[in-house]
Structure 1
């Protein structure tokens, strides 16, 4: 599904609301169009749903109460989603999510070859989310917006919405992992009070954390 801007009749100020099952396709589209270090990953993978099945679908299925979308009047153009308990989520991912999608993205036989197998390897290892050194930050999140809605305050509003929901779910601190090369995202998180967490052998990722408490 390609994003279609709202017509004049439908145009209104975007609003943040809870995720609905009818949002799934547009959430997957946003995920795909921001999955290349913030740029469009359309055409990078044989299955266009691969990135969504790793980084969006499991949250929508397992913890929909912590999923929120930015609705432009016709569809979701951004989202924030996550979990209040990463260890619990990783276990549920293996038990209840992986069997739903594993047949579409088989685990590589041996060392991953090419981008599709590299991402499929991540899908088949949900335990990778439980990172030593992050025990004090049990919640984690993913946030993405289409380019036209970035740098307009919507990202901040989405993130604060998630923080409040995570805190009500019992999480006092939250973390996220981001590609170190995505300097624009790092600036965004710095402005919102995230700080870097020292994690051994983090590879291409930087881990950031903060309290779920907000001033709002």
Structure 2
């Protein structure tokens, strides 16, 4: 049975945070890797649920089992996060909160020094997105439907995303969805497509 694709509803934040953690190890469950189970969601889900121009869609199949989050203007989103999202998290998660080099520590460092999109990427592909699906939605076309719905709703000439090189299944999915590699790093790729 296909999941119903619909807009995120207030009150579903924790479910999306849980999905983020359950897929946070290159698509696999990252629960055992993190001391703080909310930390990944605070970075990769929370701001998208609050940024005024964001689009948040969920796949609901006997409960929410996947999501896609996107913003049409990455630079505006980064500026908003600097003003509205990161300051409170920096207070809650000071540097040194977790053991140096631990997975939690690496995420806290991102909170204190968030990466910014390359200008050459956002010039052509100003929107960006994140998508995560629990196994029960994978391989049935629900990811394609979720991503297509988001791409149809983004008012931008192009979109980009980051993906870990270890997540070969996701890379294949993005390629099938028309994304191509625009930057390669040691452990990740930036992929993009025109809209």
TM-score by length of 2: 0.92
Q: Distance in 2 between matches of 1:20 and 1:125?
A: 30
Say how many residue pairs are matched. Answer: 193
1:180 aligns with 165
Number of the residue aligned with 2:113 = 125
Check conservation: 2:53, 2:71, Cα contact below 8 A. Answer: no
Q: What residue in structure 1 maps to residue 43 of structure 2?
A: 54
The answer to whether the Cα contact below 8 Å between 1:50 and 1:105 also exists between their aligned partners in 2 is: no
Helix, strand or coil at the partner of 1:97: helix
Secondary structure of the 2:159 match is strand
For residues 22 and 53 of structure 2, what CA distance do their matches in structure 1 show? 21
Deviations 1:156-195 (A, max 9, x none): 011011111112xxx1100001001211111101111111
Verify: 1:195 aligned to 2:184, yes or no. no
CA distance in 2 between counterparts of 1:141 and 1:129 reads: 14
Structure 2 contact 2–142 (Cα < 8 Å) conserved: no
Contact 2:67/2:131 (8 A) holds in 1? yes
Alpha-carbon offset, residue 130 of structure 1:
1.9
CA deviation after TM superposition for structure 1 residue 64, in Å: 6.7
Q: Distance in 2 between matches of 1:56 and 1:138?
A: 19
The structure with the largest strand share of the pair is: 2
The answer to whether 1:211 aligns with 2:181 is: no
- What is the CA–CA distance in structure 1 between the aligned matches of 2:81 and 2:10, rounded to whole Å? 18
Gaps of 5+ in 1: 1-11
**In the alignment, what sits opposite 1:106?**
94
Q: Max radius of gyration: which structure?
A: 1
Answer whether contact 2:158 2:194 (CA < 8 A) is retained.
Answer: yes
Quick one: which of 117, 138, 154 aligns to 1:150?
138
Residue deviations 1:25-80 (CA, integer Å, cap 9, x gap) = 1111110000001100012111100000010001011147500001123x311000
Quickly say closer, same or farther: Cα 1:77–1:117, change in 2 above 3 A: same
User: Which moved further from structure 2: 79-88 or 12-21?
Assistant: 12-21
User: Offset of 1:119 from its aligned partner?
Assistant: 1.1
Question: 8 Å contact 1:18–1:65 — kept in the other structure?
Answer: no
The correspondence for 1:165, drawn from 137, 140, 153, is: 153
Equivalent-residue separation in structure 2 for 1:85 and 1:98 (angstroms):
18
Q: TM-score, normalised by structure 1?
A: 0.83
Whether the aligned pair in 2 keeps the contact of 1:63 and 1:83 (CA below 8 Å) is no
State how far apart, in whole Å, the 1-side matches of 2:50 and 2:161 are: 20
Which segments of 5 or more consecutive residues in structure 2 lack a partner in the other structure?
A: none
